[in-house]
Amino acid sequence: MTPMLRRNLIRTAGAAALVAAAGMLAACGEKKAEFRGIDITGADYAKDFPLTDHNGQRRTIADFRGKVVVVFFGFTQCPDVCPTSMLELAEVKRQLGAEGDRLQGIFITVDPERDTPQVLKEYMGNFDPSFLALRGEPEQLAAVAKDFKIYYKKVDGKTPTSYTMDHSAGSYVYDPSGRLRVYHRYGTGVQVLGEDVRTLLREAG
């Protein structure tokens, strides 16, 4: 092989490698998910929720691998925001049909004082029996809420037990591999949340 032929082969191979690399990058770009909610892929917060569900089982995000997980913080005596959010999530699951089994709703109470496991179980039954409510001791809740950047505060009522809770309102959406991907503000609605859930299910295959 002559030196010139060798140089030409090297140049050709290099050009082919560049074209292949460009093609791979383009393919990656084409596959990037586009969300209707706020894309928070790669966020370094809301990593996990190591709390106990209303059946007494310790839970983490790893328990739901293979499912899109939607996490919402609230309390059972919330008059509007909480039940509306859970009803919307239940409707998203209903509209998914057979794919609904791949959607897991998680409700984390910011009022563990009143929201006992039995109260939480009955509350979830109002929306979907597969949804799980999680609770923890005050210090456990505080740690999880801090990781999720959730604000919550007790607001005194006329009696010691008639207080209410101020809290952040929004949903965190994880893909089937357990990665945090999307944040939905309260009021986004069924259609928008449903589209993002479907996007993550398609992405996972």
Report the alpha-carbon angle 12-14-31, nearest 5. 115
What pLDDT does 16 receive?
41
Report the alpha-carbon angle 43-44-48, nearest 5. 105
What pLDDT does 161 receive?
87
DSSP state at residue 112: T
What pLDDT does 13 receive?
44
What pLDDT does 18 receive?
42
| Nearest of 55, 71, 50, 49 to residue 117 by alpha carbon | 55
Kindly report whether the global pTM for this prediction surpasses the value 0.95.
Answer: no
What pLDDT does 195 receive?
97
Contact 85, 70 (CB under 8 A): no
Write out the two tokens for 173: 């959406």
Q: Among the residues of the chain, which ranges form H helices?
A: 3-31, 81-96, 117-125, 138-147, 190-204
Q: How far is CA 37 from CA 148, 152, 160, 198, 199, in A?
A: 17, 23, 38, 13, 11
Along the 205 residues of the chain, how does pLDDT read in single tens digits? 544 444 444 444 444 444 444 445 444 445 678 999 999 999 999 999 999 999 999 999 999 999 999 999 999 999 999 999 999 999 999 999 999 999 999 999 999 999 999 999 999 999 999 999 999 999 999 999 999 999 999 999 999 888 999 999 999 999 999 999 999 999 999 999 999 999 999 998 8
What pLDDT does 31 receive?
65
Residue 16 amino acid letter: A
Residue 150 amino acid letter: I
Write out the two tokens for 13: 């191979």
- Alpha carbons 94 and 171: distance in angstroms, whole number: 18
Query: Coil, helix or strand for 205?
Result: coil
